[in-house]
Structure 1
Amino acid sequence: MSETITTATAADSGASATERFLADKTGGTGPGADTTRVNTLATEVITAVHQVIRRHHVSYEEYNALKSWLISVGQDGEWPLFLDVWIEHVVEEVAHASRKGSKGTIEGPYYVPGSPARPSVATLPMRENEAGTPLRFKGQVTDISGQPLAGALLEMWQADDDGLYAQFAPGIPEWNLRGSIVADAEGRFEVTTVQPAPYQIPTDGSCGKLIAAAGWHAWRPAHLHLKVSAPGHEPLTTQLYFKGGEHIEDDIASAVKPELVLDPRPAADGTGEVTYDFVLDPAS
C-alpha cells in the first residue's frame, strides 16, 4: 500500500465530504418548505423508529450506545457517507422511477463540480505513470427518440488504483481522474482513463464501527461516476461497474443495477475498450 493510503483517514474524508455538501447542495427545510410534507415524513420516520424499539425490546444500554454513535457520526463528519451509502439508493430509485432513458444510480459523497473541461476525445487528468489498467470509454448521448445531443456534457470522476479520490485524500493532485467532457456535434465522446479498483469506504470512523458491530463488509465494486447533461433534458447521475468485478453482487451501497455493468474488451493496442451510450429524458 502507498503512503497516501496510510495517511488517508475517515475523519479527513468525512470532513471534506461534509464541507463539499454544505457548499454545493441546498436543503429542503429552509424558507418555503412544504410544512405538511415535512410533518408527514418526519412523523413516519420517528414512528418507524418507535416500532423497531418496541418490536425488539431495545434496552437503555442499546439506546445509549445508539445515541453515542449518532453523536460520533456528526463529530467525524460522516453523515454524508452514512446517508449516501445506506439511504441514497432508495431515494434515487423513487425519484427517477418514471425515467424512460438511461438508468441512474447514486451520486455518492465524492462529486466536485467544476472539473477541467475536455474535448470530445480526451484523456482524464492523471499523474505520470498513473497506476491501473488503461481504459478507453466511448459512446454517444441521445434523446429518447434517438436524436444526438450535440455538445452534451459528461462530468466524470473516479477513484484511483488505490481506491482514493482526489480532493478527499492527501497527496493526490486536485483534479486527478476528474474531468468534464464536451461531446461532439453527434453527441459522441471518447475518454481515456484507467480502470478503477474496488475500495472500502472509510472504516476508521463511526461508519466503520457500525460495519464491524453488524458484521458487514465495507466494500464497493470498482466504478466510474458520471453526470450527463444537455440543455432541455433531465440530467443523469450514474455509476458504471465492471463485469465480473468483486462485490458486484454485494455492494455495500446497494447501487449496482444490471444495466450499469460494462464489459471492456482488449483493443488492438492492448487498452481495455468499452462503448456505452446515454439516453436523456426531456426536462419536465
Structure 2
Amino acid sequence: MTTTTDTNPKAADSGASATARFRSDKASGVADTPKERVDLLAGEVIEAVTATVRRHKVTYDEYNALKSWLISVGEDGEWPLFLDVWVEHAVEEVATEHREGNKGAIEGPFYVPNAPEQGADGTIPMREDEHGTELVWTGQVTSVDGSALGGAVVELWHADSDGYYSQFAPGLPEWNLRGTFTTDDEGRFAITTIRPAPYQIPTDGACGKLIAAAGWHAWRPAHLHVKVSAPGHELLTAQLYFPGDEHNDDDIASAVKPELMLAPTTTDSGETVDYGFVLDPTRD
C-alpha cells in the first residue's frame, strides 16, 4: 500500500514555506552582525563575482541571464533552497572543524522546531498506512569524556517515501515524520520510523532552471535529519545516510560524510541500526 501526498508540491509553495520559516526562526540574528564583518564578507563576495566576470569575459547577454535568474530565485522564494543546497555545506564545515565528537552536516531548509515529544523509546508520528520499510534506530548520547548524557534531546525529521516533507508539501499531516526524543538516564534512545527515500530538490522553479542549464542532476541521497542537544554541550546538527545509495558520491548538496553513514541490518519486520552521538562541551 502506498501513501502519497494529495497534490504534487510546487517549488514556489515549498520556497514560500521555507522563507517564512527562516524569517520566523533565524532572521533576527542578522541585525547583530558587526559592520566590519559585513564589509569584509560582502566585499570579498562581490570581488569574487567581478573576478569571475573578468576571468571568463562574461557578456552582457550572460549577465542579463544571471540577473533574470536571480530575480526568479526571489520570486519563487528559493533563496533558502539555493543557499542550503550549494553554500551551507562549507559554512557547516567551518563551524564544526574544531569538534572532537561527532561531525555534523547541513540543516537544510525543512527543519521545524517543537516537534511532538515521544520519550526515550517511541515511534515518530506517521500516518497509519505510511509507506516504507520500518527502521528501528537505537543509540546513546555521550560527552567526549564518555559520560552518558541523560535527558539529551534528539530531534528527528525526514522525507516520506515519495521524498516530501510535512509542512512543506500539501496533503501531509502537520507533524508527519517529525519527532522529539529525550534520552533515558543512560543517554539511550530507541526510535521507530521508516527508511526515507532519495529525492530530487524542487526542479520547477529557479533552482531547477539552473540545474537544467548547467547539466547537473537534482538528487539527494536518502537521509535522516537530526539535531542533538544537551545542557552544557554544543548543538549537533547532522544528516545520516544509507550505504548503497547511488547519490552518496554525487549529492547535489555536497553534504555526505563517511562518518555519517549508517550500517542497517535487515530483520523480519524491516531494518535495525545502532548509531549514537558524542557531543562536545560548550566552549568558553
Q: Where on the TM-score scale, by shorter chain, does this alignment land: which range?
A: over 0.9
**What are the Cα deviations for residues 116-151 of structure 1, in whole angstroms up to 9, with x where unaligned?**
001111000000121011000110000001100001
CA contact (8 A) 1:227 1:238 kept: yes
Structure 1 residue 95: deviation in Å? 1.1
**What are the Cα deviations for residues 43-83 of structure 1, in whole angstroms up to 9, with x where unaligned?**
11000001000011000000001001001100000000000
Aligned residues: 282
1:230 maps to what in 2?
230
- C-alpha distance in 2 between matches for 1:221 and 1:171: 23
- C-alpha distance in 2 between matches for 1:245 and 1:38: 40
* Aligned partner of residue 39 in structure 1, secondary structure: helix
Tell me the C-alpha RMSD between the 2 structures: 1.3
CA contact (8 A) 1:156 1:227 kept: yes
* Aligned partner of residue 90 in structure 1, secondary structure: helix
User: Is the counterpart of residue 204 in structure 1 residue 204 in structure 2?
Assistant: yes
Structure 1 residue 245: deviation in Å? 1.3
* Aligned partner of residue 262 in structure 1, secondary structure: coil
Structure 1 residue 33: deviation in Å? 2.7
User: Is the counterpart of residue 26 in structure 1 residue 24 in structure 2?
Assistant: no
- C-alpha distance in 2 between matches for 1:213 and 1:224: 30
* Aligned partner of residue 7 in structure 1, secondary structure: coil
- C-alpha distance in 2 between matches for 1:85 and 1:29: 20
CA contact (8 A) 1:134 1:192 kept: yes
Structure 1 residue 103: deviation in Å? 1.1
What are the residue-to-residue correspondences of 1:148-159 with 2, within 5 Å?
A: 148-159=148-159
1:129 maps to what in 2?
129
- C-alpha distance in 1 between matches for 2:3 and 2:186: 42
CA contact (8 A) 1:5 1:162 kept: no
CA contact (8 A) 2:3 2:130 kept: no
Q: Partner amino acid for 1:116?
A: P
Distance 1:281 1:7, change over 3 A: same
CA contact (8 A) 1:135 1:193 kept: yes
- C-alpha distance in 1 between matches for 2:269 and 2:176: 23
Distance 1:275 1:172, change over 3 A: same
- C-alpha distance in 2 between matches for 1:75 and 1:154: 35
- C-alpha distance in 2 between matches for 1:26 and 1:51: 30
Which region of structure 1 is more displaced relative to structure 2, 88-97 or 19-28? Answer: 19-28
Structure 1 residue 159: deviation in Å? 0.1
* Aligned partner of residue 180 in structure 1, secondary structure: strand
- C-alpha distance in 1 between matches for 2:159 and 2:251: 16
What are the residue-to-residue correspondences of 1:1-284 with 2, within 5 Å?
A: 4=5, 6-30=7-31, 32-267=32-267, 269-284=268-283
Structure 1 residue 263: deviation in Å? 1.5
**What are the Cα deviations for residues 157-210 of structure 1, in whole angstroms up to 9, with x where unaligned?**
000000000000000000000000011000000000000000000000000000
- C-alpha distance in 1 between matches for 2:277 and 2:235: 11
* Aligned partner of residue 37 in structure 1, secondary structure: helix
CA contact (8 A) 2:3 2:129 kept: no
CA contact (8 A) 2:220 2:251 kept: yes
Q: Partner amino acid for 1:271?
A: G
TM-score (norm 1): 0.97
Structure 1 residue 7: deviation in Å? 2.5
CA contact (8 A) 1:198 1:246 kept: no
Structure 1 residue 36: deviation in Å? 1.2
* Aligned partner of residue 273 in structure 2, secondary structure: strand
Structure 1 residue 20: deviation in Å? 0.3
TM-score (norm 2): 0.97
CA contact (8 A) 2:10 2:202 kept: yes
Which region of structure 1 is more displaced relative to structure 2, 110-119 or 5-14? Answer: 5-14
Distance 1:5 1:78, change over 3 A: farther
Distance 1:172 1:246, change over 3 A: same
Structure 1 unmatched ranges of 5 or more: none
Structure 2 unmatched ranges of 5 or more: none
